[in-house]
Structure formats: structure tokens, C-alpha cells
Structure 1
Amino acid sequence: MTAEEVFDNPTGWVAKHIRTYVESGGRKGHDYQGWPTLLLTTRGHRSGLLRRTALIYGRDGDRHLLVASNGGAAEHPGWYRNLSVEPEVGVQVREEEFTARARTASAEEKPGLWEVMVDVFPQYAKYQEKTARDIPVVVLERV
């Protein structure tokens, strides 16, 4: 990503979590209420601005996994819509920052990756029950 201004998720508790993560250089904020989190920076699909949010993640080898659950809402979260248009994203995991290419897991690979993520955060299964939308699993691969 570039040295452009980054706009953090405006939701109060998420914004506070991001600030803690960023201000500590990643030394604080990775473990959020017992779950591993990373910071994801996407480019807004309408605004073109850089947008950052904190998300629970899992691992599949060298790849990082995310779930576009949006709490089981009927619509995909904004960050997912953004990376669907511009798949190059910025990632911070603890102190490490890197660029990744994001993609939606294929139908063939999703079941195994979904299980990885439900093991990390069991609430994802309840979110899927709550919505008719097929909740995507996102794979982040370093560039």
C-alpha cells in the first residue's frame, strides 16, 4: 500500500482496538478477547480511500484466513466489497506489516477453510445459520 492517509473503522470499539494495535506497533491488540486479530487495509470501492479494520483471522500454512460474516447480516461487510474490487490489501499481524492479494475461497476449498475458522471463532457457524447469504472465506496470500 502507499503512504496515503488511512481511515479507520468508525465503530467505537473497533476504532479503539485499531488505535491500540497501531500505537503499540502491534505489540498490543493482536489478542482481542482471546481471539487472534489482524489489521486489514483495503481501498474503498466507491471512495478510493484507504480503509482499515480489525478482524479475527486463522491460518492455513503461510496464508491468513478471514470470514466476511458481518455478524450474519444479509449484506457482505464493506471491507469484503472493497477487496472484491481491489484485491491488493495491506495487512498487519502483530508487528509485521505486508501486502497481500485477497481472494474468495473457491467452492472446493471453502469447507476445509470454513472449519479452520469455526475452530478459531465458533460464532461464525451461528452467523451462517442466521443469514441466507453464503458467508465467504477470504484467503490472504503475500505478494
Structure 2
Amino acid sequence: MDDKVHDSPTGWVAKHIRQYVESDGAKGHFYYGRPALLLTTVGRKSGLRRRTPLIYGRDGDAYVVVASNGGAADHPLWYANLEAEPQVGVQVGAETFTAVARTATAEEKPALWEQMVGIHGEYADYQRKTSRDIPVVILTRV
């Protein structure tokens, strides 16, 4: 398997990731005042390791992210990747670790969704823009 990590080709996203990695999270861990982590998934079709920055919250020792895709009709590709392969890489600040990703249950989601909307209010707007139920994902360290 190719050990190279492939970052988003979108300019501002690639720049955010590059600054985060090069500074061990000193630049980019807080992105416009919101905490951000780097999530690395394995492409379900390509097998390539793909990295994306995401706003996060905490639930005890776990990290929580939202598969909003800006309110688009489809889930983000990273979400489809972790559904196929739930073992993921995570970087929070300078710390990197392996985690297992899972979608929050119907019972867990309301409280986690409220927390994440409190961190990034735009999530509520994104949900209003789409008919799909936006998933909340829990990342548990292995």
C-alpha cells in the first residue's frame, strides 16, 4: 500500500493542512477560532490515504466531527471512506493517533449535534439546506 497521504486539491484546504502538519498543529489547530483536527481515511475505491481538516468537539475521551459537506445532497467522501474502513488516522495539534470511527446512534446524536452546532453554528444552516440527515461521527482512540 502507498504510505503517501493525499491532501485535498482545493487550495485553501490544502494550505490549511500543510500549515497544520508543518507546524505540528501550532498553525491550524484553531481555524477561525474553532478547534480543527486532521482526519486520514483510506479511499474505499483507490486505497489511497486521504487527509482532511475537520472542526471537532469532545465527548469524554472521544473526538466528534460532523459529515456536513456544507449541506450538499451527498455525504462527504471522507465519510463514505470511513464507513468502508472505520480505522482512521487523527492528528490533534502535535499528537497523532489511530482511531475507530463510527456514526453516532439516534440516541447519541441529539446531544452531540447540539454541542457541535454550539461550536460551529453553520451546521444548523447546512442541515436546513439538505434533505439528508447529516451524520455525527465519533472517533475513539485505539
Residue ranges of structure 2 left out of the alignment (5+ in a row): none
Over aligned residue pairs, what C-alpha RMSD do you find? Answer: 1.1
SS at match of 2:19: helix
Q: Give the aligned residue type for 1:18.
A: I
SS at match of 1:54: strand
Moved over 2 A (4+): none
Query: 2-side partners of 1:122 and 1:28: how far apart?
Result: 22
Query: 2-side partners of 1:112 and 1:69: how far apart?
Result: 16
Query: 2-side partners of 1:55 and 1:13: how far apart?
Result: 13
Equivalent position of 2:106 in the other structure: 107
Aligned residues: 142
Q: Give the aligned residue type for 1:137.
A: V
* Alignment of structure 1 residues 1-143 onto 2, 5 Å: 4-143=3-142
Post-superposition Cα deviations, 1:51-71, rounded to whole Å, max 9, x if no partner, equal 001010111111100000000
Q: Give the aligned residue type for 1:78.
A: L
Query: 1-side partners of 2:115 and 2:37: how far apart?
Result: 16
TM-score, length-scaled by structure 1: 0.97
Kindly, what percent of the aligned residue pairs are identical? 68
Query: 2-side partners of 1:88 and 1:80: how far apart?
Result: 12
Q: Give the aligned residue type for 1:88.
A: Q
SS at match of 1:108: coil
Post-superposition Cα deviations, 1:16-69, rounded to whole Å, max 9, x if no partner, equal 000000011222110111111000000001000000010101111111000000
Residue ranges of structure 1 left out of the alignment (5+ in a row): none
Measured at CA, do residues 87 and 55 of structure 1 come closer, stay the same or move farther in structure 2, by a change above 3 Å? same
